[in-house]
Structures are given as structure tokens and as C-alpha cells.
Structure 1
Amino acid sequence: MAVKKIDLITIKNDKFSLNIKGKPLHPDHEKKFPEKNKAQASYSFSSSLEKRLDFKYHDPEIDQLKLSQSNSIKSFPLFFEYQNYDFHIEAEEPIELYHPNREIRESLSHPNDKPNVLYGSINFGSDIGYSEFEIRSNSQVILTLKLEVFPSKIDYQQDYNQLLEEVNKEVYNLAYDFLRKTYQEMKISEKQNITEAEFFTIIENIFEDLFKALKRIEESPHHQIIRKRNVKPASRVKKVGRQSLKWLNKNSRHYDQDLKLPEKMLAVEKKLSYDNFENKFIKWSFSELIKRLKHFKVNYSKAKTNPDQNLLNEIDKMIRKLKLKLKHSFLAEVGELQKIDSISLVLQMAPGYKELYKYYLMLLKGLSLNGDIFRLSIKQLWQLYEYWTFLKLNSLLQDKYKMIKNNIIDLDYSGINVTLSQGAAAEVEYQNPITGEKFTLSYNRSSGDGITTNQKPDNILSLSKNDSEHQYKFIFDAKYRLNTAEEGTRYGDRYEGIPGPEESDINTMHRYRDAVAAEMGEDYRRTMVGAYVLFPYRDQEKRFKEHKFYQSIEQVNIGAFPFLPGSTELLADFLENIIDESAQSNFDRNLMPAAADEFRPQPEFKVDLLLGSLRSKKQFEYLLDNNLYYLPLQQSVLNHNLEYVAIFQSKTKFGKQSGVRYYGRIKNKKIVKREEIDFPSSSRSTDQNYLLFEVESWQQLGKKIKSEGYGVSGSHIYSNLMLLKKADTLPELSIRSLKEWRLWLELKRLKEDIKLQLKNDNLDQIQKIEGFRAGKAKIKLKEDILQVELKENQLEFSYSEFIQNPRAVLNKIMGLINDSSQH
């Protein structure tokens, strides 16, 4: 049964009445207050009417209107975001409603052209905080009403205020908006109200920094070169140029024909000018600051019967210092500022100027607002939550990774509102300090190459891996929506009463992942690995692990994470996993088509490459020039289906150039006598059979494979092309199975001192690797069991457990190693 609207607040006497109707319910829980929530909202009014007004408000505990004994109360929240509230106001005289927000002003009108009645429905949308209404009659305010609007999906006192604090901490002023439906009483300290003394507290804290910034500007002020043209006696003109001669030709009367000399000449002089917009802006802001300090001093002196002389002296000192800079610096040559058309890049980015502009923005809020408190509108909660998610994601990444590029703040031209830039410019670049890999987090960037329709998710994490040519992209989309899974609802029954994101938002993630594609060669490929909803949910973060939309992340890489101040652990762990794991693990997160196993060939760990040694540098040059490689004929070589050959350059012969740098595809192979090879031989038996490989062309690897103290003592070793392209060191070419290689991929990303364990330094004598070593820990793979041995401790994991979550397994291994090293 639908709940009817009831009276929430009434203020009336026999000549005036104000009535607000609405549902007495929390809009998401559909329950009456109070229950567990003991939040307190503020309601107050002031009136210039002579007769007392009765102030009543709905009390959910008694489920009826309650008479207040004062004009200001704190009670259970009655007003929430996205709800309609009916206002009915009636008076003896004609009345009008004033509110700073135009939409609210226009929501009420005079029914049946009755000037003394106002009626309409007001919806605060996603604006949270205080909202103040003025009822005016004959241009005079007869009543002022202040309400507090609460969020419905997050805790107001805890989550909302912390969210505001964290946004402003990352980017000053980002949370602020202008003339919205609600406002917040801003404060610097814990005091209830802002007085004029707060202004002095702000300027006192930043005053020295203000002059440090100006000092940086004085070292190199923004300037321009101007040309000044003056006609002077010829003897005073220092430099005669083409313009001077041209002027003289047109003004020949100034040329003395008898003396054959000019009497006057045009002088073109270059002059350095500081008279530009940026310097005018600084001069203007300093002048305004002097006015405000004088005003503060007068008000302070009036308010105190015995004012503090030290404080007055400090104010005078500040004023003198500001005046001194205006008179005895480059600012003295600067003209007056007429208007502010736009904020230039110099003010936003140049050293000194950007700091002064930041302080100007801080002081602007105090300078432009009157009264005992600063009243600033806050961005709509859905937008604020969207901003917070991007900033918090960056904060989580900065805890572990190095930020190398940051471009997230964009100021609008009015200088009033600060927003996050969007698209290609809104990107923060990081680097993994262990692997050196770079990755980016972008905000509100269009994706999809316009194949069908562009998609614009909130946040895209693009990972680049050393062992892959492609990027692996993950979407994190902020959705300020929460289904509380109430008992008896379809959602509650289906998801066992665990609150979570709306199903429609999960469906959007499917669309994002599947719709974003890029052109690769002649066809198109999906570029997004996974997509996840970030939604506002705090309570029992661990319980959400039981939700279907969390478990689906592991199954199909679509799902959700609770994300609020104090509820970031699940997402932080996931970010660490996908960034630290190998490209292979990132790739394995992709959801394959149903017929993938039938039509996609399984990767084979076959021997298809021969890595051969050399006898001399001249032989190396001969092989490269002639696109071939040869070695004494051995039946074992013919037993392998070789497709590639690579060259090993030993430390003794090549020094710093040692390692593996060149490989090539085998075009042809044939058996020849040694004497048929046109390169001198130290052997006397020239009729010996050799195997000759003709190579299509020698290719250079993207990075050299280091020998790391190992070598090829015989003529060759076997490996495969995949290992050759992905290996960093020579021992890695001895890996003989896909499982070993996959384990090695993840292990070598953890620590630099992780090595392969081999029986012999000569790789031609190696049939298989013994395992891996990290410090004193031995790591072995026996069939489908991963074993870790360290002194008397031993851990075992199934290989399938490792593949399912490699980072979790490796973190346990590293925990054992770290604990041992500490003891």
C-alpha cells in the first residue's frame, strides 16, 4: 500500500501559514524513522511578524506533529534527496518566494492568480545540506525558513562529510558549486559559525606563502617586449634601422641638404613591459586584500573594548608590506585591471603565479560572502561521488606506485567553479617501481573508436606489461545507487538480503565491456578485460563477498565493489592484483566465446628454436652479412622441427655486447661439406658434414637477453621463439613447460633476486630446470603441486589455485620469506 503524504512542517498563526507535505519515510528503506539511525537534522525559522508563530514538525516516534518550544530544533531527518515535497504558503498580504536557486523559485506559483497564496512541489535532486527560503511581502522578508536535506544512500554525518573532506583535500575547492538548491556551512576549525575573525585566520596562515610566491615571480615576472616609436634629434638616435630610413624618405624636410645629414630621425626602441593581464590581476588582488584588512581592523576595534594592540600592529604590518610591494616592485609599472575575461595558463601553471591564484581562490570565498558564516553550495551528490571515486582511486594507487604524470584539474573561465577535466587530458600516469611498467588512470574518456556508439565510463585503468604488446583495460564506473535488498523484495530474495548495486548498473558494465572495441589490422577486437560498478555501501564490507555481484568478478570479470570512505579494502586488493600480475594473468581474465576451445589452437611449448654459439667476432659478422648459420652435423638437431635460429654472443669474446640479440626464421636447411662454407676453418678436416641454415633475414630483439654468468659451452641449446622474445636472462631459455613458464612470469615480477635453479652453468647440459630460488627459499613445481621450502617451513598449493589467483598465492609465499628474513 502506497504511503500518503502527510504534514512534515507547519508554521502558522491566524495571519500566516506555511505547510510542507511529504512522505515520512526514508526513500530507500521505505521505513519510518527512527530505527537504527539516530541522525539529527536541523530545522529553524525567523520571522518579522508581530504575532507569534506555532512551529510544528513531524516526530516519527509518536507518528504525529509535535509543537516546538523554540524557533530552532534538531530532530529526525524529514527531507531527502530525489523526493517531492509540497509547499503551501498563505498570508494576508501578497507574498513572493526568494531562494538563491532559480529552479526552486520557479517551483512555486500563485494558484488561480491569488497573490497571497504560493503553492508547488520542490525536489532537491541530489543536492545535500541546508536550504534557506525567504517569504517576502512588499519587498520585505517576513519569514526565513532553513531546512536540512539528507542523503538517502550514505551516512550523512560520517560518509558524506568525510567524502567532502577527501575531495577538498585532493583538489582544493573541487566540491564547491554555485547557487544550487542547498549549501553547507563551511568552517576551518570546529567552531559552529564563521566570523570575520576567520578571514584573518586564513590570511595569517598563508601570508608568508603569499610573499614567497611573489618572490618567485619577481625573479622572472611574466613580461612582453614592446616597440616604442619616437621622433628625436638625429644626434640622440642610437640605432638607425630600415624603419628609420623609410621614415626619413617620407619626411625629407628633416634632412639638411647642405650638410647632407638628417636633423631628426625616427627612433624605434625595444622596451620590457610588465603591463599584462596576469600582473594586473596580482596588483588588483593585493589592493583588494588591503581593503579587506582595513575593514577587519575597524570591525575588530569596534567589537572589543580593549583590543589587542599586538594584533592591530600585525594587521598594520601586513598592510604596509602589501603597499610596499605595490609601490616598490615591478607592480608599480602595472596598470589597473578593468575586467576578468578568462583565467590564463600563466595563472594556472607558471611558478609563483599558480600559487598566488590558488590563494586568491581561497580568499575569494571569504571576500565574496557576507554574514557570520560562509555559505557555499556543494556539487550534487552523484557528481561528488563520481569525483571522489576518481580521486580515491588515485590515492590508492599512489600508496604503492609512483606517479609520473598528473593532469586532472581544469578551471572554468569564471574562476568560480573547479571541475575535473575530462577526456584525453584527464589522465594520471603511474609506474610500477618493481617492474618499471607504466599504466594510466583516465577520467570520463570516450572509448570505442566510434564503431557503433562511443562509450564514456567514469574511470578506465589501462595497463601496459613488459611481456605484451597490448594494453589491458579495466573499467571502474561510479554509480551513486544502492539497493538495500529489503526483505520480501525481489532483489532481497534473489541476493539473500545482501545490499548491492542495481541490476541495471551491472547490465551497463556488460555493455561497456562488450561495446568498446578497437580496429586491429583488418578486424576489430574487444579492448576491455572487465568492468565493475563502484557503489556506496559501507556496512559489512566482508559480507559483500557473498554477494553474487562480487563472486561474478572471478567468473566473468563483471561485478561490483563497495566503495566509500573506510570501505576501500576489497577494491584496493583487486587493483594490486591486476597491476602486479603478468600480462598472461591479465589476458586469462578475458571471457572467451563458447567455441574458443574448439577453434582456438592450444598454446604449445614446443622446441622450435636453436640457439647457437660462435667461435669469433669475424664469424659473427660473416653470419649476419650472409644470412646463414652453420654447425657440425648432429642427428639430434635433425630430430627437431626447427623454425628459428638465434645467436649467442659469449662474455669472453664480446664483453659488454654479450648475450642474445639476433634471431631469424629458417628459410632452408641443407647438409654441406665444411669446405663449401666460405669462411676460414681452424679444423683440418674440411670434408666433415655440416648443417647449414639459410635465414630469411636476421632480426634484432627488442631487448638483449643477458647471459647472467651462464653460457653455451657446446655448439647449441634448444628453446622456442616465445621464450626468446619474452626472456630477460639466458637461463630462462631452459624452461621446458608451460606451467613452469607461467610460474616464472609471476615470480620474477615480485623481486629482482628471484633466480632459476639449474644444475649446471652450461645450458647445453641442462635437460630441465630444478625450480626457482628466492633468497633461501626453494620453489618447485611437481606435476600439479607448487611447493615452497624455507628451512623447516613448507607450503603447498595446487597449480589450479595458483592460476585462479596468482597474486594471492605469491603474496603468501613472499610473506613466508619476509617473516623468515625478519627473524
Structure 2
Amino acid sequence: MATKKIDLITIKNNKFSLNIKGKPLHPDHEKEFPEANKAQAAYSFSSTLEEIFDFKYHDPEIDQLRLSKFNSTKSYPLFFEYQNYDFYLEAEMPIEIYHPNREIRESLSHPNDNPNVLYGSINFGSDIGYSEFEIRSNSQVVLTFKLEVFPSKIDYQKDYNQLLAEVNREVYNLAYDFLRKTYQQMKISEKQNITEAEFFVIIENIFDDLFKALKRVEESPHHRIIKKRNVRPAARVKKMGRQSLKWLNKNSRHYDQELKLPEKMLAVEKELSYDNFENKFIKWSFSELIKRLKHFKANYRSYKLNPDPDLIAEIDKMIRKLKLKLKHSFLAEVGKLQKIDSISLVLQMAPGYKELYKYYLMLLKGLSLNGDIFRLSIKELWQLYEYWTFLKLNSLLQDKYKMVKNNIIELDYSGINVTLSQGASAEVEYQNPITGEKFTLSYNRASGDSITTNQKPDNILSLSKNDSEHQYKFIFDAKYRLNTAEDGTGYSKRYNGIPGPEESDINTMHRYRDAVAAEMGENYRRTMVGAYVLFPYHDQKKFKNHKFFQSIEQVNIGAFPFLPDSTELVSEFLENIIDESVQSNFDRNLLPAAADEFRPEPEFKVDLLVGSLSSKKQLQYLLDNNLYYLPLQQSILNHNLKYTAIFQSKAKFGDQSGVTYYGRIKNKKIVKRDEIGFPSTRSSGDQNYILFEVESWQQLGKKIKSEGYGVSGSHIYSNLMLLKKADTLPELSIRSLKEWRLWLELKRLKEDIKLKLKNNNLDQNKKIEGFKIGKVEIKFKENRLLAGLKDEQLEFFKLEFMKNPRAVLNKIMELFKEYEDN
């Protein structure tokens, strides 16, 4: 393993010499030259000196300097970011060096004040790409040397270009969405300010995608059913209806009086028609596109003395493909578009149609975007990575959740602007389509109440849950740094030789989580649940064994590899924390050591009685007098009841059935039935009743629906927490934390989850049997969670479910989907 510095580049003749020394191998690998690596870096020079130069560069394959036949060459990368390289220049004349970067210029000096010699150590920092040096003598350039600096943490030719492409694509997608919402009213005669050159650049880039979108439309075109009326020979009319008989009465000449049979009849037939606004719009936009291409070709030929035949052929090919679709697809059955009054929901939302509409806007308007992100120097890779991280997180969220609004794209007098920049904050709001919950992803936003120092993480995901008034926040901080865990280093020993983020960045996550606090009443509370480093690394499978990945489950501090082809771990984690219940979000918090002594677990002891009614009039009597009563039973006295609620049965209350009213019990007493002011026809007056005096009757935020269940006796038992969180009556039968937690998670996945009970009369059930999704049955048995379907059964430990409920339930849902598919 080579560690010493050797000559990487030499440029010499009798009057001048330049030597650059450094480590010959990729600093993140420090291993022998990888033959499979196809990366090529460019090196070149030019000189005003007449003498011939020897230009040599280090070739790792032969491990020595190779002479170049030309003044430029390409070889395996020799120069990387954040590495030190020694420059030594000597000439017969006084020399100076110029480089755009001041730090690099000042890194070289004249030893012993010798003006003919320059020496120093140069570090390119995070600057990547081409770096050009000018060697000057008496203010005249005598030699220019250009080299290419590669990033050490990502693949330059693959990842770097992909980062740039994805940043542009995500920004432009946001802009398209913005345009779609802005330009709801359009007319065909609207002026098109887009230039010819811009038009062709756009059409070249989107042409293949345009046809992919059309293919999606062809698989399921928007259509309507129309009725066609044709007069045919009676023998060819399959079905006679009222309209046919009515027609025959008006056209009696077609009725043979001798045979008593009609000769001709009106046939009314239903047909599929694609002749609607949306398909007319596509046909019109394709026709307009053909016109624009022909116009562009004509202008190109007239302006260009020697038109490129390949370009002309490309334009003709596009025109042919568009014409073919107009003649040989469902579009051939579509009529002409007369006007565009408004854009329909089909064009805005339907698969295929919305993409075609987006491309139409793009070609109509062009797309001129302004903002710091487009003035970003290609050398500032750390900043590009930071922007990409925020935009990619949004892209992952858009795959599953509905974007409600964003302030990344804004419109002012100068045009469409991208607000994403180092000094500004940005925020995107989403909605979970299943639960209706809203959440935000913010960039570069100061957090907390600045009690000590202000904290400004890169990305904060703030989750709001239906069952909680608090937000649950998670930090995702982009760090363009990678420790390669070289053999023999302390990092390698501590983390089993697996590359990962720097320890200092993990420590920063601890600081973020612990330092960000907010004022809540008289006290301050920590608002961050977890904090994670996003860093540039490819091997997600390998990183799963890294301590900083496993620590996420243990303390909610850790790291995720995050690059264009390495997003699955982050995507899965985002889905987990967004889709899981508020209880699971809360359980991710790292609590103080004494939390178990002072923080009570959700209690499932009985403290609530849900009582039934004998009539509608009884309900009003109870509400007016703030009381509830029922026949005395010893079991009622065995419970420490603090609350009571009223069940309104389906038989007596119809659509008003369920549980709406509850109250806190302020007094209990045993009375005779005839002491209660409401008359009864069933019981004798001297029967003992228990009477609850209620402080006041309260209405639940939402009615608990009966869902076909009832109470055949006088009452059932439950607790206040379940009462406030339940949607249906059988949920009040849940008796343990683990069952309640499972129910919470299942409800967020599927609406048609059912509790499995032996009897629909809840007072006859002592416990629930489990839960059902279709034919899949789920239940707890001792310390295990079982999910069964016929002969197939999945089994999980209770602790496994409590730590990561979404992962367990996703496996169960796969079983459910497999059953549905079959």
C-alpha cells in the first residue's frame, strides 16, 4: 500500500520544470489501481516558449511516469479534493503563479527569496472540476497548465453529474407544478414568448418522456359512453326499446300491415367515445408541435449556411412519430379543439394526461428560472449536496404524500424564482392521504427558542398527528464528509472497517437534538425526537452493520447513506415515522433515567362505565339532571369508576346511535328505584339502583359509532383514554397496552380493520380475540404477535413489534395483499 508522495505530473525542458508530487492512489481507497475503474481525468498544458517540453503523468497500471505524445492527455484521476499536493517550479527567468483561488496562490512562495523558484503545498479543499494555473514571467504568461480535480467521496462522472441533473429536475418539477396551479385559464391565441432555440432544447429533452406519457394514456384513455341512433332492417336490430317503438309509430310506412311485422327499425346502441375535451387537447397540442418543428426546421435551414444533416434528420424523425400517433391511435377518432376555457381535473391529475399537460406548459411558456441555486459554482460540491438532499427528500415524500404548498418557487416581476439558498429558509407542506395529517419539511430554518444558542439544522421534518396537540420533529442534516475507515485507523477498529460519517458530525446530531427546546407553559421541553446525518456513500447493505445505523433504533441518533442510487434506507425510514401512530413517534424519544418512576404508562384499568338506555326520553332526563343510574350489581362496586358514558342503541336511536356523551362522576349512591324521578314500567320501586351524580355531561369531539355492535345488558366497562381515542364501539373492549398499540397502527394502514369478538353484544365479551384484515387474523399470544391466513402463519416477538411496528405490519400487509391478489 503506497503512502508516500511521488511525482504525479512533470513538465520539463532545458529552461523550465514543473513537478507536482502527491499520493498516487485514490485517498478513499489507498489500494492498488482498480482495473474496473473507467474514470478518466484530463490534464493539459500550453506554452509561449519555443522549446519542446517533456510532459509525463503517473500511470497507476505500470506504477511509474508515462510520457505523453501530446500536450493533453486523459488518465486515471490523480488529484482529489481535500488532499495536499507539493508544487515545485524552477525556471531560468523570474516566475510567478496565478490561480483564481487566492489561498492556492498564496500557498506557493519563493524559497530563500529566489525569484526563479516557486515551492509550496496546495490543497484544493472542496473545489472540484477543472483547475487552471498560469505561470507568468514579467507579467507575461509563459505556461498554462490545467488539471481535473475529482471528488473523493462520490463517483465524479456518475454521481456528481447525477446530483446536478436531479437538482435541476426536482426544481423544474416544482416549477411545473407551480405553473399548473398558476395558469388555470388559457386561450389558444395566447402569445408564446419562448424562443426557437429554447423550444428545441426543451423538445429534445422531453420528447421520449412525451411518448411514455402518451403510452400511459393509450392504456386507459379518458372516454364516455354515447348513444348512436341508426335506422336498420328490422332483422338486424337486436334490441327494441321505447325509443324504437316511438320511432315506428311516427314512421308507420316501414310497418308491413299484411305480415304484421316492421321492415325497418330504429337501433339505439351504446358506444365508447374518445371524442372529449382532454383527448382533443392532446391531439391539438401534437398538431401544434408538428407545426412548431416544421417552422424551426425552415428557420434553421434559412439561417444556417451549412445545416447539420443529423439535426434535420432528428427533426424529421420527431415529426414522423407525431404524425403516426395522430393517424394510428385513438387520437384518429378525436375531433378538433375549438377553445380552451379551463383545464379539467383529468388533465391535471390523471396518469399520462397530467404529464402531457406539464410538457404543454413547458413548451408554451418555456421555463426561465432565477435563483442562487442556478448560480452555484460547479466546484461547491458540499453546497450542491446540501441542496440535492433537501430536494431529494421532497421527491421521496411526493411519491406517497400529497404536496399542499411550498415556498421554494415564487413569482415576481423578474419571473419564476427558486428561493432555495444558503441564507434563506424554505418549507414544503404535505398531507398524508390516508390519515389526513399534515406535516412539513423545512430547510435552513432556525429552531427552538434560542435559550442558549440558536440552532439551524439543514432539514427538519415536523409531524403533526391526529391524536396529539404536539409536533414530533426529526432532523436530517446533510454532511458532505465520509470517513473511509482505512485499515489501521482508530475509526476502522471502532466500526469494523465500515465507512461512515465522521464522529464529529454524529456529535453535532446529539447537540441538535438536545439543544433545540421550546417554551411550553411555564417549562421548556425538548422538541426534537431524533437527528440523523445524511452522507455520501453507496453501499447501503454494508452500512446496515455500522454502529451509527444501528444506533438509530437504540437512541434515535445516527446516519443514513444518501446518494442518487442510495435512497432506500432513508425512504423506508421516512415512511415509518410518517405513517406510524403518535404513540410510536413518542416512543422514539430518549427519556431520562428516572422516567419509569415518574411517567405513568397508558393505563388500561377500568375507570369508565358505558351504560345503555331504556328509551329516548331517558336520555334527555339524564342530560338535564346530570346523572346516570342502573340496577345495582356487585361487580360495579368492585371497580374504581371515575367516569360514565351513555350508549345510544341502533334500535332506539337509528342514525344517532353510538356514544356521544360522557361525564366525570362526582358522587355515587345506592337508592331505591322509586327515588329516581324518571318513571319505569319494568322494575319494582324497592329495587336497589346505583346512581352516579355527574359534574356535567360533555360531548366527545367525535361520536363513537356502534358499527353493528350493541350492549344487551345494562352496561360495559372501559377507560377514559380509550373513550377519547376510539372511533367504534368495539374498540372500548381493548384491555391492554399492546392490543391498543396494535390497533392504533392497524387503523392507520387499512380502514376496514375489524376487531375479532365472540359476540356482537359487548357486555358478553371479557376480552377481544384479535384483529382481522380481510381473511388475515392477527393476535397476541403471550410475548408473540401472530398473523395467520389458512395454513400460513407469521410470528414476531412482542418487543420486535413495539420497537418497529411499521416494519412488522408491512410484512403482515404483504400477506394480506398476497391473499387479495390470489
Superposition TM-score, scaled by structure 2 size: 0.72
Aligned residue number for residue 275 of structure 1: none
Query: Which amino acid in structure 2 is aligned with residue 359 of structure 1?
Result: L
**Residues of 2 paired with 1:106 and 1:630: CA distance?**
91
Query: Which amino acid in structure 1 is aligned with residue 472 of structure 2?
Result: Y
Pick closer, same or farther for the CA change 1:672–1:154 going to 2, 3 Å: same
**Is the 8 Å Cα contact of residues 411 and 418 (structure 1) preserved in structure 2?**
no
Helix, strand or coil for the counterpart of 1:456?
A: coil
For residues 629-662 of structure 1, the C-alpha deviation after alignment (integer angstroms, 9 at most, x for no partner) is 2233333222211011112233344444332222
Aligned residue number for residue 627 of structure 1: 626
Question: Which is further off, 379-388 or 31-40?
Answer: 31-40
Query: Which amino acid in structure 1 is aligned with residue 442 of structure 2?
Result: S
Shift of 1:51: 3.3
- Find out whether 1:592 has 2:591 as its counterpart: yes
Structure 1 residues without counterparts, runs of 5 or longer: 175-195, 209-291, 312-351, 369-374
**Residues of 2 paired with 1:595 and 1:363: CA distance?**
50
- Equivalent residues, number: 673
**Is the 8 Å Cα contact of residues 34 and 76 (structure 1) preserved in structure 2?**
no
Pick closer, same or farther for the CA change 1:396–1:304 going to 2, 3 Å: closer
**Residues of 1 paired with 2:488 and 2:313: CA distance?**
70
**Residues of 2 paired with 1:739 and 1:299: CA distance?**
76
**Is the 8 Å Cα contact of residues 780 and 787 (structure 1) preserved in structure 2?**
yes
Pick closer, same or farther for the CA change 1:203–1:100 going to 2, 3 Å: farther
**Is the 8 Å Cα contact of residues 199 and 363 (structure 2) preserved in structure 1?**
no
Aligned residue number for residue 455 of structure 2: 455
Which aligned pairs between 1:247-286 and structure 2 lie closer than 5 A?
Answer: none
**Is the 8 Å Cα contact of residues 441 and 461 (structure 2) preserved in structure 1?**
yes
Query: Which amino acid in structure 1 is aligned with residue 548 of structure 2?
Result: F
Shift of 1:304: 8.0
- Find out whether 1:715 has 2:714 as its counterpart: yes
Aligned residue number for residue 508 of structure 1: 508
Aligned residue number for residue 559 of structure 1: 558
For residues 605-636 of structure 1, the C-alpha deviation after alignment (integer angstroms, 9 at most, x for no partner) is 10100112234444333433433222333332
Question: Which is further off, 588-597 or 99-108?
Answer: 99-108
Shift of 1:80: 0.9
Aligned residue number for residue 608 of structure 2: 609
Aligned residue number for residue 579 of structure 1: 578
Aligned residue number for residue 8 of structure 2: 8
**Residues of 1 paired with 2:522 and 2:711: CA distance?**
42
Query: Which amino acid in structure 2 is aligned with residue 82 of structure 1?
Result: Y
Pick closer, same or farther for the CA change 1:740–1:47 going to 2, 3 Å: same
Aligned residue number for residue 300 of structure 1: 304
Pick closer, same or farther for the CA change 1:422–1:70 going to 2, 3 Å: closer
Shift of 1:404: 2.3
Pick closer, same or farther for the CA change 1:592–1:733 going to 2, 3 Å: same
Question: Which is further off, 710-719 or 645-654?
Answer: 645-654
Aligned residue number for residue 668 of structure 2: 669
Structure 2 residues without counterparts, runs of 5 or longer: 175-194, 208-295, 316-359
Aligned residue number for residue 53 of structure 2: 53
Helix, strand or coil for the counterpart of 2:368?
A: helix
**Residues of 2 paired with 1:479 and 1:101: CA distance?**
24
**Is the 8 Å Cα contact of residues 369 and 417 (structure 2) preserved in structure 1?**
no
Aligned residue number for residue 189 of structure 1: none
For residues 264-304 of structure 1, the C-alpha deviation after alignment (integer angstroms, 9 at most, x for no partner) is xxxxxxxxxxxxxxxxxxxxxxxxxxxx9999889832788
**Is the 8 Å Cα contact of residues 422 and 445 (structure 1) preserved in structure 2?**
no
**Is the 8 Å Cα contact of residues 663 and 701 (structure 1) preserved in structure 2?**
yes
Pick closer, same or farther for the CA change 1:445–1:636 going to 2, 3 Å: same
Out of 351, 355, 368, the position equivalent to 1:360 is 368
Query: Identity of paired residues, percent?
Result: 79
**Is the 8 Å Cα contact of residues 673 and 687 (structure 1) preserved in structure 2?**
yes
**Residues of 2 paired with 1:484 and 1:435: CA distance?**
42
**Residues of 1 paired with 2:468 and 2:372: CA distance?**
50
**Is the 8 Å Cα contact of residues 457 and 512 (structure 1) preserved in structure 2?**
yes
**Is the 8 Å Cα contact of residues 423 and 446 (structure 1) preserved in structure 2?**
no
Which aligned pairs between 1:638-787 and structure 2 lie closer than 5 A?
Answer: 638-682=637-681, 685-787=684-786
Shift of 1:775: 0.7
**Residues of 2 paired with 1:360 and 1:490: CA distance?**
50
Helix, strand or coil for the counterpart of 1:498?
A: coil
**Is the 8 Å Cα contact of residues 26 and 32 (structure 1) preserved in structure 2?**
no
Helix, strand or coil for the counterpart of 2:711?
A: coil
Aligned residue number for residue 522 of structure 1: 522
Aligned residue number for residue 266 of structure 2: none
Which aligned pairs between 1:301-450 and structure 2 lie closer than 5 A?
Answer: 301=305, 359-361=367-369, 377-378=377-378, 380-409=380-409, 420-421=420-421, 426-450=426-450
Shift of 1:153: 1.4
**Residues of 1 paired with 2:487 and 2:12: CA distance?**
40
Which aligned pairs between 1:25-64 and structure 2 lie closer than 5 A?
Answer: 25-30=25-30, 33=33, 37-64=37-64
**Residues of 1 paired with 2:372 and 2:789: CA distance?**
63
**Residues of 2 paired with 1:525 and 1:770: CA distance?**
40
Aligned residue number for residue 477 of structure 2: 477
Helix, strand or coil for the counterpart of 1:570?
A: helix
Aligned residue number for residue 537 of structure 1: 537
**Residues of 1 paired with 2:172 and 2:569: CA distance?**
28
Question: Which is further off, 44-53 or 112-121?
Answer: 112-121
Query: Which amino acid in structure 2 is aligned with residue 607 of structure 1?
Result: V
Pick closer, same or farther for the CA change 1:510–1:364 going to 2, 3 Å: closer
Helix, strand or coil for the counterpart of 1:768?
A: coil
Pick closer, same or farther for the CA change 1:362–1:736 going to 2, 3 Å: closer
* Superposed CA RMSD: 4.3
Query: Which amino acid in structure 2 is aligned with residue 301 of structure 1?
Result: L
**Is the 8 Å Cα contact of residues 661 and 704 (structure 1) preserved in structure 2?**
yes
**Is the 8 Å Cα contact of residues 2 and 23 (structure 2) preserved in structure 1?**
no
**Residues of 1 paired with 2:44 and 2:417: CA distance?**
29
Helix, strand or coil for the counterpart of 2:449?
A: coil
Shift of 1:517: 2.2
Superposition TM-score, scaled by structure 1 size: 0.72
Question: Which is further off, 514-523 or 419-428?
Answer: 419-428
Aligned residue number for residue 228 of structure 1: none
Query: Which amino acid in structure 1 is aligned with residue 814 of structure 2?
Result: G
**Is the 8 Å Cα contact of residues 368 and 415 (structure 2) preserved in structure 1?**
no
